[in-house]
Structure 1
Amino acid sequence: MLIIRLLSNAIKSKLPKMSRPFLPLFIEGEVIKGFGRGSKELGCPTANYPLSVVKTLPEQIEPGVYYGFAKIGGGPVYKMVANIGWCPFYKNEEMSIETHVIHYCGPDFYGEYLKTIIVGYLRAEMNFDSLDKLILAINADIANAITFLDFPDAQKLVNHDFFVSSKLGEK
């Protein structure tokens, strides 16, 4: 099963530690309307940053699935999982950051200010031969993110100043 395999490999390699030299990575910006497939096709709504934010990513970032924390406007901090890349299943032409805010049940937040701290890397971006297999992988990514974000290294970032400091564009 995908969840067990990913989780056991990550625990063996102690993946929850900041596993890339550019992590933790702090990203912020206004949420824009995406492709509309997260909620409708995947059952996993996502918040999308504008291309101007995507272009500020470090050069060495690898396309893939990452996990961390997110804050929408002045609300609480949530766990999150994000795909950074081209979403090969959908053949995106531009790189994107699609963030799923775990356990967020509120209304759409287009136009809200989103802050994310990327804590760790789950897996490389990959293509799938069916929508069902993509959904299974997304569910495994969410389950793994929930587990990893409870580790002490990750929990240190929940109350980071980044989430409390106010930015000019923040609503």
Structure 2
Amino acid sequence: MLSQLPLFAGGEIVRGFGRGSKELGIPTANFPLEVVKSLPESLPTGAYYGWANVDNGPVHKMVLSIGWNPFYNNKEKSVETHMLHDFNCDLYGQTLKICIVGYLRPERSFDSLESLIAAIRGDIEQAKAFLDEADKAKLKEAPFFTEKLCSSK
């Protein structure tokens, strides 16, 4: 159910599977399992777009995958965020905040690594266009991106 959008989430960036940068050329910032489990169960798996920032810094366009990544046969659900910005450092341990604005496509497997990369590149181009629309662009200014996240410990 997509009526929950926009959806805000945040947490520490942790190591993922090591595929984003190395295999795909599309680096991702990954949430720990507790953040993944905090998302509504009714949220469909697939590719989404929205806004993201790291440690209350500038807000950037992003695409993200929510699901099991069937091409890789993952055993655990993950949330992998690709920000449309080049960072010159590792982001592990820093705080990632995301605003999921819209849904791009359902999760599916691919015949080849090349077709997976092509689909993600298509997602990126769609996200850029959607996020330039006024109603979606205004979410970049959401107070969430400058507020301190509360710990649930």
Q: What is the TM-score of this pair, normalised by structure 1?
A: 0.85
Q: Which of 83, 99, 109 does residue 65 from structure 2 map onto?
A: 83
For residues 152 and 52 of structure 1, the distance between their equivalents in structure 2, rounded to whole angstroms, comes to: 33
Q: Which runs of 4+ in 1 moved over 3 A?
A: none
Q: CA deviation at 1:105?
A: 2.8
Q: 1:126, 1:153 → 2: CA distance?
A: 29
Matched, 1:124 2:124: no
Q: What TM-score, normalized by structure 2, do the two folds share?
A: 0.95
Whether the 8 Å CA contact 2:36–2:78 is kept in 1: the answer is: yes
Tell me, yes or no, if the aligned pair for 1:66 and 1:118 is still in contact at 8 Å: yes
Amino acid of the structure 1 residue aligned with 2:26: C
Q: CA deviation at 1:59?
A: 1.6
Say whether residues 1:156 and 2:147 are aligned partners: no
Unaligned runs of 5+ in 1: 1-18
Distance 2:86 2:36 in 1: 23
Question: Residues 104-145 of structure 1, C-alpha deviation per residue, up to 9 Å, x if partnerless?
Answer: 333110000000000000000010010000010010001111
Aligned CA-pair RMSD? 1.2
Q: Does 1:143 align with 2:125?
A: yes
Distance in 2 separating the partners of 1:52 and 1:72: 18
SS of 2:122's partner is helix
Sequence identity, in percent?
55
Residues 1:109 and 2:91 are matched in the alignment = yes
- The question of whether the paired residues in 2 share the 8 Å contact of 1:69 and 1:79 is answered with yes
| Residues in 2 aligned to 1:118 and 1:29: alpha-carbon distance in whole angstroms | 14
